[in-house]
Amino acid sequence: MKKPTKNDLSKKFGKATVAIHWVTAILILILIPMGKYMSEMDISAKINLIRTHVLLGAIVFVLTIVRSVLFFKAERPPHIKTSSVLNDKLYIWIHNAFYFVLFGISVSGIATLFLGGYVEVLKNGNTTFIHSDSEIASLEAHETFATILLVLLMLHVVGVIKHYILTRENTLKRIV
């Protein structure tokens, strides 16, 4: 077995990136179960939850745009290295996939608002404008992106834990 590579954990992400990372993580951990819970409810019972879901989702979208700009503009620490080329590539792929999935879930959520009639409901509370879920193609995409996001989140957490167990490197130091 190869000896794990030691990383320089003194190099950290900037304060804005750290704040956006943790706020986005918390919002995602609220939004995913909220979306699942709402999907089982009658429309008239979930109007306020939809408002909250839309507001929190919009915040995630804006934060993702800002973080994407920071990704290219701000200095960031080098990628974590392991003794495995596959793990090194997986690390980069998962981190980059978060951006694409967050944009995808945001765009599909916005499309669902308009195509599903939710904008009218949020304006005036009249639920007759809502289309059935089967008529809203973007809703299925939104749910698919949410599932992918959940899988990425789990892989991300497992990766941090695995890295710590194998190398005793606390990579969280870079993002706190």
* Per-residue model confidence as pLDDT tens digits over 6-55: 888 889 999 999 999 999 999 999 999 999 999 888 887 888 899 999 99
- Give me the pLDDT at residue 64, please: 97
Angle formed at CA 20 by CA 25 and CA 35, multiple of 5 degrees: 35
Cα 108 to Cα 35: distance, rounded to the nearest angstrom: 13
| Burial class of 103 by CB neighbour count within 10 A (0 to 12, 13 to 18, 19+) | middle
Give 126's pLDDT tier (boundaries 50, 70, 90): confident
Does residue 107 or residue 133 have the better pLDDT?
A: 107
Which of 38-47, 61-70, 99-108 has the least mean pLDDT? 38-47
The pLDDT, as a whole number, for residue 9 is 86
> Residue 3 pLDDT > 80, yes or no?
no
Whether 92 and 85 have beta carbons less than 8 Å apart is answered as: no
* Mean pLDDT (whole number) for 126-147: 91
Arithmetic mean of pLDDT, 83-101: 92
Q: How far is CA 124 from the centre of its chain?
A: 30
Give the confidence band of 102 by pLDDT, cuts at 50, 70, 90: very high
Residues 6+ apart with CB under 8 A from 91: 79, 80, 82, 159
The band of 2, judged by pLDDT with boundaries at 50, 70 and 90, is low
Q: What is the mean pLDDT of residues 141-162?
A: 95
When the pLDDT of each residue in the chain is averaged and rounded to a whole number, the result is 92
